[in-house]
């Protein structure tokens, strides 16, 4: 009796994959006369090829060799102008085999190879070659690579080159490649705020570039990239003036600006290291003012108590005291994170200032009128600075400001500010976001903010207060600008509630943003109101159809919304950057 079951071979042998043989056998045809039907002439060298293979691999060659022009004729010879033979040989090998050995090629050949990939529309090859070039950048080749990347509009490669040049600016200025930059590429490099070299070094390098190109028409535009007011008076008189490259009027204008402007209003350059904390010993940062300096930048955000693990300064009315951090070099920053000492329920007020010279200070964050606790995520307009000063103005327990950790960086993370306050884009009423319930009754202190909107019953999972007495109050880690909330009112039976909500920045002055005292409300509440600054949210129940308690199971505060559960709050408030 025959077996009617189909054959079921093992998966490992059911599929035949001999791609490597195909590559080897087709690759054996490259540069061979056998079966060839077209010849390319590059720099006097002849390259026999097979038009069907080239047409199958590249749209450019398909149009060239089968487009009805003279190149379509059998055994045609095609002369390629402005093409290097060595790079074209690499390209043919890639088209036949799908392989290219980039590390074995000389830099100039590699750049020509990249140019051919761009010219012939071989996007995967262009991307792979660009990616390789990003890994082999150094001070002697980065200018040449940047020029080519700019010419071909390769944004990722151009960005990588700019970042490399920013971090190695003095060496790049002294490289031979810098003199070979086109004017457009040159100005792109030296006009960047993040091109972190001294203005004297930039002036001298641009002077050499002008001498090398010997085109008087370009000199004024090129020298205009020098930020003369950043140079000292001695440098302007002894270096710039004798060169004759800058007009006397421009020099006098620079001296006038230097003498009359605030130091922090000058257009400084600074190091740009995105998404990395630069307030570390790795980057040469140090605490230069304050008590117990060693704790602030050690990166330990877990091991601290009443006696150790923090830096501090006495809170004084004149603001002269403070904690001061000196960065390793002038840097561009727009984001600072602070960890305020939070082993109890105390709150702090403070402000932040930045400076280049320790004399002229610019305030970038002012929370001196707000009560703040635990982690602070602070954003501001990008600034070049060398020094950051944190000045505590209030502590709800004593007259000392305690800071556990300090981080600063430049971030590309989207964020929105409203009068200096962060507009959160997601729930910031969560334990993870350092929010806390400071008033209200619950079996678990932060049941309202734990994010659990399913596991609650008659006995647990909610926060409540007695009607006519007290309220449910949530403190956010820092002041936010908010205009919406969501609440989850306790809904295990058919009862309904009435309530109102107020917000405050100091727990003294309250602004009513929601009034539902005349409305019977159940379960989830989505609330909208005019944008308000808020560090505290107070939910006051005015009616419960079942008893004298108001319960809330969940509370969510978002960019334009806040949530809460009945008038017992047990959810969370998160922060979203947008």
Per-residue pLDDT tens digits for 489-501: 988 889 899 999 9
Confirm whether 149 is domain-assigned: no
Q: Do the beta carbons of residue 503 and residue 537 sit within 8 Å?
A: yes
Statement to judge: residues 335 and 400 lie in one domain = yes
Beta bridge partners of 173: none
Report the C-alpha dihedral over residues 350, 354, 355, 358, rounded to 10 degrees: 30
For residues 464 and 441, the answer to whether their CB atoms sit within 8 Å is: yes
Q: What is the pLDDT of residue 444?
A: 83
Domain count, the chain: 4
What's the rounded mean pLDDT across residues 434-461?
88
Residue with tokens 């030296």: 190
Per-residue pLDDT at 557 exceeds 60: no
- Residues 6+ away with beta carbon under 8 Å from 494: 522
Q: Are residues 247 and 306 in the same domain?
A: no
Q: What is the reported pLDDT for 21?
A: 66
Task: Inform me whether the pLDDT recorded for 569 exceeds 70.
Answer: no
Q: Looking at the domain assignment, is residue 5 inside a domain?
A: no
- CATH number of the domain enclosing 109: 3.30.710.10
Q: What is the pLDDT of residue 424?
A: 93
- What is the pLDDT confidence band of residue 319, given thresholds at 50, 70 and 90? confident
Residue 220 DSSP label = H
Same domain as 528, residue 404: no
Q: How far apart are CA 503 and CA 433, in angstroms?
A: 18
Pick from 44-53, 218-227, 245-254: least confident = 44-53
Say if residue 528 is in the same domain as residue 440: yes
Percentage of the chain lying above the pLDDT 90 cut: 72
**How far apart, in whole angstroms, are the C-alpha atoms of residue 462 and residue 569?**
6
Q: Phi and psi dihedrals of 187, rounded to 5?
A: -65, -35
pLDDT at 452: 86
| 300 has a pLDDT exceeding 80 | yes
The CATH code of the domain that includes 445 is 2.60.120.260
441, 485: one domain: yes
Range of lowest pLDDT (12-16, 327-331, 542-546) = 12-16
State which of 76-80, 134-138, 571-575 shows the largest mean pLDDT: 134-138
> Is there a single domain that holds both residue 298 and residue 399?
yes
Q: What is the mean pLDDT of residues 430-449?
A: 90
A 10 A CB-CB count for 76 gives 16
Residue 223: the pLDDT is 95
DSSP structure class, residue 528: E
Is residue 253 located within the same domain as residue 179?
yes
Of all residues in the chain, what percent carry a pLDDT higher than 70?
Answer: 89
Instruction: Assess if residue 31 is contained within a domain.
Output: yes
Q: What's the pLDDT band for 451 if we cut at 50, 70, 90?
A: confident
Position 15 confidence tier, pLDDT thresholds 50, 70, 90:
confident
Look at residue 279 and tell me whether its pLDDT is greater than 70: yes
Of the ranges 15-19, 193-197, 327-331, which one carries the lowest mean pLDDT score? 15-19
Q: What pLDDT shows up at residue 358?
A: 96
Q: Which of 229, 261, 293 is the last residue of a domain?
A: 261
Residue 408 confidence (pLDDT) above 60: yes
Residue 392 reports pLDDT greater than 60: yes
pLDDT at 415 over 90: yes
In a domain, 211, yes or no: yes
| Concatenated DSSP letters of 464-508 | EEETTS--EEEEEEEEEEEEEEEEEE--SSS--EEEEEEEESSSS
Write the burial class of residue 323 (CB in 10 Å: 0-12 exposed, 13-18 middle, 19+ buried).
Answer: buried
Q: What's the CATH number where 212 sits?
A: 1.25.40.420
Q: What is the DSSP letter of 432?
A: T
More confident position, 126 or 577: 126
- Of the given ranges (230-239, 269-278, 317-326), which has the lowest mean pLDDT? 317-326
Residue 135: its pLDDT value, please?
95
- Per-residue confidence band for 345, with pLDDT thresholds at 50, 70 and 90: very high
Record the tokens describing residue 289, joined without a space: 């003012």
* Domain closes at, from 382, 413, 444: 413
Report yes or no: 322 and 392 within 8 Å, Cβ to Cβ.
yes
The answer to whether residue 426 is domain-embedded is no
Range of the domain at 390: 281-413
| pLDDT tens, position by position, 348-381 | 999 999 999 999 999 999 999 999 999 999 999 9
DSSP 8-state secondary structure symbol assigned to residue 360? S
409 shares its domain with 442: no
For 244, residues 6+ apart whose C-beta sits below 8 A from its C-beta are none
pLDDT of residue 425: 87
Question: End of a domain among 413, 446, 475?
Answer: 413
Contact 573, 556 (CB under 8 A): yes
Average pLDDT of the residues in 241-263: 94
Q: Do 301 and 409 have their domain in common?
A: yes
Range 178-185 average pLDDT: 95
Give the Cα separation of 257 and 253 in Å (integer): 6
Label residue 58 by pLDDT band (50, 70, 90).
very high
Same domain, 39 and 110: yes
309 and 249, same structural domain?
A: no
In this structure, the answer to whether residues 130 and 42 fall within a common structural domain is: yes
Task: Assess if residue 69 is contained within a domain.
Answer: yes
Whether residue 162 is contained in a domain is answered as no
pLDDT, tens only, 126-136: 999 999 999 99
pLDDT of 242 strictly over 60: yes
Of the candidate ranges 340-349, 403-412, 465-474, the one whose mean pLDDT is the lowest: 465-474
- Cβ atoms < 10 Å from Cβ of 81: 7
Q: What's the pLDDT score for residue 318?
A: 81
Return d(Cα 146, Cα 156) in angstroms, integer: 11
pTM: 0.84
Mean of pLDDT values over 37-49: 90
Q: What is the mean pLDDT of the chain?
A: 89
């Amino acid at each position: 009796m025959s077996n009617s079951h189909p054959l079921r071979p093992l998966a490992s042998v059911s599929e035949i994959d001999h791609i490597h043989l195909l590559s080897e056998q087709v690759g054996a045809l490259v540069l061979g006369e056998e079966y060839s039907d077209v010849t390319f002439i590059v720099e006097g060298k002849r390259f026999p090829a097979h038009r069907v293979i080239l047409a199958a691999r590249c749209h450019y060659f398909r149009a060239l060799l089968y487009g009805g022009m003279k190149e379509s004729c059998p055994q045609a010879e095609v002369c390629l102008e402005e093409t290097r033979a060595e790079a074209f040989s690499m390209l043919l090998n890639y088209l036949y085999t799908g392989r290219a050995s980039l590390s074995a090629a000389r830099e100039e050949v590699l750049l020509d190879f990249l140019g051919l990939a761009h010219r012939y529309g071989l996007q995967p090859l262009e991307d792979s070659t660009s990616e390789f070039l990003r890994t082999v950048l150094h001070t002697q080749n980065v200018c040449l690579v940047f020029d080519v990347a700019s010419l071909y509009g390769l944004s990722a490669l151009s960005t990588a080159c700019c970042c490399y040049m920013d971090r190695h600016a003095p060496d790049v200025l002294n490289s031979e490649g810098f003199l070979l930059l086109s004017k457009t590429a040159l100005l792109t490099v030296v006009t960047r705020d993040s091109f972190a070299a001294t203005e004297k070094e930039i002036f001298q390098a641009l002077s050499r570039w002008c001498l090398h190109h010997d085109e008087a028409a370009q000199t004024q535009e090129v020298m205009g990239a020098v930020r003369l007011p950043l140079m000292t008076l001695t440098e302007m008189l002894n270096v710039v003036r004798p060169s004759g490259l800058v007009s006397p009027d421009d020099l006098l204008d620079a001296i006038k600006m230097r003498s009359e402007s605030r130091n922090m209003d000058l257009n400084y350059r600074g190091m740009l290291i995105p998404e990395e904390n630069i307030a570390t010993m790795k980057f040469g940062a140090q605490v230069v003012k304050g008590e117990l300096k060693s704790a602030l930048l050690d990166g330990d955000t877990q091991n601290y108590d009443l006696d150790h693990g923090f830096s501090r300064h006495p809170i004084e009315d004149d603001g002269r005291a403070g904690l001061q951090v000196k960065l390793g070099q002038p840097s561009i920053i727009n984001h600072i994170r602070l960890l305020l000492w939070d082993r109890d329920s105390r709150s702090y007020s403070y402000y932040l200032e930045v400076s280049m010279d320790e004399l002229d200070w610019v305030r970038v964050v002012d929370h001196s009128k707000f009560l703040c606790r635990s982690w602070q995520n602070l954003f501001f307009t990008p600034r070049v600075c060398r020094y950051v000063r944190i000045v505590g103005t209030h502590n709800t327990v004593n007259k000392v400001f305690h800071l556990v950790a300090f981080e600063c960086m430049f971030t590309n993370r989207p964020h929105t500010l409203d009068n200096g306050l962060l507009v959160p884009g997601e729930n910031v009423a969560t334990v993870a976001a350092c929010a806390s319930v400071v008033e209200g009754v619950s079996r678990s202190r932060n049941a309202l903010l734990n994010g659990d909107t399913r596991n609650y019953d008659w006995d647990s999972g909610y926060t409540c207060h007695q009607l006519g007495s007290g309220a449910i109050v949530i403190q956010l880690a820092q002041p936010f600008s908010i205009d919406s909330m969501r609440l989850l009112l306790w809904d295990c039976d058919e009862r309904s509630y009435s309530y109102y909500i107020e917000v405050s920045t100091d727990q003294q002055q309250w602004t009513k943003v929601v009034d539902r005292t005349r409305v019977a409300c159940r379960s989830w509440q989505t609330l909208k109101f005019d944008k308000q600054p808020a560090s505290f949210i107070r939910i006051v129940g005015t009616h419960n159809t079942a008893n004298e308690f108001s319960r809330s199971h969940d509370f969510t505060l978002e960019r334009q919304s806040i949530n809460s559960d009945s008038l017992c709050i047990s959810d969370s408030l998160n922060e979203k950057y947008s």
